A = this chain, B = another copy of it.
Amino acid sequence: MNIKQFIPALEWLPKYTKKQFSGDLSAGLTVGVMLIPQGMAYSMLAGLDPIYGLYAVTLPLMAYAFLGTSRQLAVGPVAMVALLTASGIGGLAEAGSGQYVQLAFGLALLAGVIQLLLGVFRLGFLVNFLSHPVISGFTSAAALIIGLSQLKHLLGISIPNSEHIHEIVLAAAQNIRDTNPYTLALGLGGIALILAVKRIHRAIPGSLLAVLAGILIVWGFGLTGQGVKIVGSVPSGLPSFVAPQLGLPDWQALIPVALTISLVGVMESIAVAKAIQARHRDYKVDANQELIALGAANLFAGFFKAFPVTGGFSRTAVNDQAGAKPGMASFISATLIVLTLLFLTPLFYYLSNAILASVILVAVLGLIDVKEPMHLWKSNKTDFYMLMVTFVATLLVGIEKGIGLGVILSLVMVIYRTTKPHIAVLGQVPGTRTYRNLARFDHLIEKEHLLIYRFDADLYFANVSYFKDSLEELVQQKGAALKAIIINAESVNNLDSSAIHALEEVIDENRKRGFEIAFTGVKGPIRDAMKKAHLIDKIGDNRFFLTIQDAVDACDAHCQRAEAGDYEHQDLAVQTNV
């Protein structure tokens, strides 16, 4: 434990060289240039004036650069978190009202506090509970909702804010005759430009070009007179320190959405950071430290007039491609935004909402994941259904409930799967000391007097009766010739007290019927649990074998002696306690 662990910047800053600076300068400027249109667009997506998106990429960016473990991650507004913000506070206040803005600040603050607490109490592992199919289904649905929410800006019609897809579609269908052709042309032009530029080279800031072209066109052709909606005057100057003006009921109402944003935000961030880090390997991404860093970023967002932020994919990729090494690039990006806020905001007067919508639409287009469900349909039906349920639930009942349902469902499946696990009866591979599942391989040798039983799950309260019943059924099938039962525990990674009870019962019952019981493949932690419960004493030290063959040999020897009338329990031992 030292201070450098908590402030990773103290590790790399003193070693910083001039040579590194050139890479960071180029990366920082490129990302800064991307942040201007993206920040404003995602701010609009969150239901806020564009200026708050620029505020969000000043101090929060710097806070992360100091505290984060990833050296390329670009923190700022991202589409998913902006959507969660809009859906979370949309029900609490009118979009654009003063109360709405305060709630957005409060949400960032609360998400920051939650992330800090999760990080400090080392609960970063919680993000692991978001499984791949749940994330994929949720992201596609959210992208669809985001895309549809931009229809009003693209068409220039009025659609009420909603996270319910049918409401959006219905309102759009009703008002589609009011479509403003200039707005639509502008938006489609923006999309085409961004996509075209992307094809030429990833590092060219297509969205900034679209923004600049859009401003020139609206101004040059006087399109405001044709009903094209523009951003209007953007205040200049830096964000000041303001504590969100909210009452206790407001804070309470924000808790569920703040929790969702905390977890989704850090999950997205860590996924991006790990993907990039995998190609560098000179540092480690730590989930708990990431939570602390993102928490600090969101605290600054909340106190300096911004909405929740997290690490975004596209900008991080640019950071990495431009050769950014340490967090210095983020300082440079933030500085560029500060200069923009101080001197360039009047330029954005003629920026149209349609252009911002085109920036959002291109960004979310890449989030809709069609390959994954198709792949899962072929490779894993359970996970496919999990993805679809999450997708449909997110579309129908809303974003937070959709992801919540997905998480709970995937945990229930984990439990359910272990209640009736796979079991196998083993036979010898001819000419070897190896044993395999009789149901899967031909030509295995099965001895009449031996039952070699493998239980493929941790043995615990929810499956002990299945364990007992299935073993009993196999014993009955074997019939009168059976002399010994060998339990292969190589797949058992945990034994709880219900399992200990069950094993005691199984051993007592089968010994009463005169069967020998032996164990193989019992792993260390299982031996420990058995020892503590005095089960090893009960079974007998000398009935644990290193390999199945050892157990088979011992049982064979014992059975022959038993038939010859020379019954001696203690002689069964071959290899003990290894």
Q: Residues of A with Cβ closer than 8 Å to B?
A: 125, 128-134, 274, 278, 287, 375-376, 378-380, 382-383, 410-411, 414-415, 417-422, 424, 429, 432-434, 436-437, 439-441, 456-458, 460-466, 490-491, 493-494, 496-498, 500-501, 505, 509, 521, 523-525, 529, 532-534, 546-547, 578
CB nearest to A380 among chain B residues: B497
Rounded to whole Å, the gap between the CB of A450 and the closest CB of chain B is 20
29 pairs, CB–CB < 8 Å, chain A vs chain B? A125-B419, A125-B466, A128-B419, A128-B461, A128-B464, A130-B461, A131-B460, A131-B498, A132-B497, A132-B501, A133-B498, A278-B505, A378-B532, A379-B532, A380-B497, A380-B500, A414-B418, A414-B458, A422-B523, A422-B525, A424-B524, A437-B523, A456-B523, A456-B525, A490-B490, A490-B491, A490-B521, A491-B493, A491-B523
Chain B residues lying within 8 Å of A501, measured Cβ to Cβ, are 132
Contact B125 A497 (CB under 8 A): no
A380-B422 contact, Cβ under 8 Å, with A417-B494, A461-B129, A465-B128: no
Contact A497 B414 (CB under 8 A): no
Q: How far is the CA of A418 from the CA of B125 in the complex (A)?
A: 12
A496 contacts which of B278, B383, B418 (Cβ < 8 Å)?
B383
Q: How far is the CA of A500 from the CA of B379 in the complex (A)?
A: 10
Contact B493 A422 (CB under 8 A): yes
Rounded to whole Å, the gap between the CB of A351 and the closest CB of chain B is 40
Chain B residues lying within 8 Å of A436, measured Cβ to Cβ, are 546, 578
Q: How far is the CA of A2 from the CA of B424 in the complex (A)?
A: 30
Chain B residues lying within 8 Å of A278, measured Cβ to Cβ, are 505, 509
CB nearest to A505 among chain B residues: B278
Rounded to whole Å, the gap between the CB of A549 and the closest CB of chain B is 10
Q: How far is the CA of A531 from the CA of B393 in the complex (A)?
A: 30
Chain B residues lying within 8 Å of A125, measured Cβ to Cβ, are 419-420, 466
Chain B residues lying within 8 Å of A380, measured Cβ to Cβ, are 496-497, 500, 529, 532-533
Nearest 9 interchain pairs by C-beta: A131-B461, A379-B533, A132-B498, A383-B497, A456-B493, A379-B532, A380-B497, A128-B462, A440-B524
A133 contacts which of B129, B432, B497 (Cβ < 8 Å)?
B497
Rounded to whole Å, the gap between the CB of A544 and the closest CB of chain B is 13
Contact A411 B417 (CB under 8 A): no
Chain B residues lying within 8 Å of A493, measured Cβ to Cβ, are 421-422, 456-457, 491
Q: Which of A378, A424, A458 has the most CB of B within 10 A?
A: A458
Chain B residues lying within 8 Å of A491, measured Cβ to Cβ, are 490-491, 493, 523
Contact A496 B382 (CB under 8 A): yes
Q: How far is the CA of A41 from the CA of B509 in the complex (A)?
A: 36
Q: How far is the CA of A476 from the CA of B141 in the complex (A)?
A: 39
A376 contacts which of B287, B497, B509 (Cβ < 8 Å)?
B497
Chain B residues lying within 8 Å of A130, measured Cβ to Cβ, are 461
Q: How far is the CA of A132 from the CA of B490 in the complex (A)?
A: 24
Contact A460 B509 (CB under 8 A): no
Contact B379 A496 (CB under 8 A): no
Rounded to whole Å, the gap between the CB of A385 and the closest CB of chain B is 12
